């Protein structure tokens, strides 16, 4: 069983679905839906990134001693994603579908590459190092799915 990989990979699927729905609403110029769905997507992304940066990465680094490796790369990519999300938010607010869709294409490529690295490298390493820590897995789950 791989509790960390399963939990976070499943959340990738959830975020991807929200991303696709927001992109569709924007392409259709349904600005009310686009704003609402993008807000849901951005909230899900914020929770996902927080779960990793505030819980998983520090625990992984403490347990393995790896501070300049995969977590450093992931943090840098998270910052790139946050910048794109901010620009996408502005595009939704300005009802600028062309800008949004261009930024969405860039974000999609970044997320695909990022998620693949996490799912194939970081999450399996995390499960090896931390998968037996039920409290950590519980904290990740609570961050992703607040009550």
Output the pTM of the full model: 0.95
CB 18 within 8 A of CB 40: yes
pLDDT in tens, 40-99: 999 999 999 999 999 999 999 999 998 888 999 999 999 999 999 999 999 999 999 999
How many domains does the chain divide into?
Answer: 1
- Among 34, 2, 28, 25, smallest CA distance to 128 is for 2
CATH number, position 106: 1.20.120.520
Mean pLDDT of the 119-135 span:
95
Give the relative orientation of helices 134-144 and 31-50 as an angle to the nearest 10 degrees: 160
Q: How does residue 1 score in pLDDT terms, banded at 50, 70 and 90?
A: low
pLDDT in tens, 103-115: 999 999 999 999 9
**Average pLDDT, whole number, for the chain?**
96
The sign of the torsion formed by the CA atoms of 81, 85, 91, 95 equals positive
Q: Which domain holds residue 86?
A: 3-144
CB 77 within 8 A of CB 114: yes
- pLDDT at residue 128 tops 80: yes
| CA 60 from centre of chain | 18
Q: What is the pLDDT of residue 69?
A: 87
Q: What is the dihedral of CA 146, 6, 24, 100, to 10 degrees?
A: 80
């Amino acid at each position: 069983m791989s509790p960390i990989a399963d939990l976070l990979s499943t959340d990738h699927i959830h975020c991807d679905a929200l991303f696709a729905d927001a992109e569709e609403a924007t392409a259709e110029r349904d600005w009310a839906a686009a704003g609402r769905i993008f807000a849901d997507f951005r909230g899900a992304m914020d929770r996902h990134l927080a779960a990793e940066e505030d819980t998983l990465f520090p625990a992984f680094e403490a347990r393995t001693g790896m501070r300049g490796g995969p977590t450093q790369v992931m943090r840098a990519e998270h910052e790139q994603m946050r910048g794109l999300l901010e620009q996408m938010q502005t595009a939704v607010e300005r009802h600028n579908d062309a800008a949004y869709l261009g930024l969405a294409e860039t974000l999609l490529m970044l997320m695909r590459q990022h998620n693949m690295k996490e799912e194939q490298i970081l999450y399996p390493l995390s499960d090896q190092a931390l998968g037996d820590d039920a409290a950590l897995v519980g904290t990740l789950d609570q961050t992703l799915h607040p009550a």
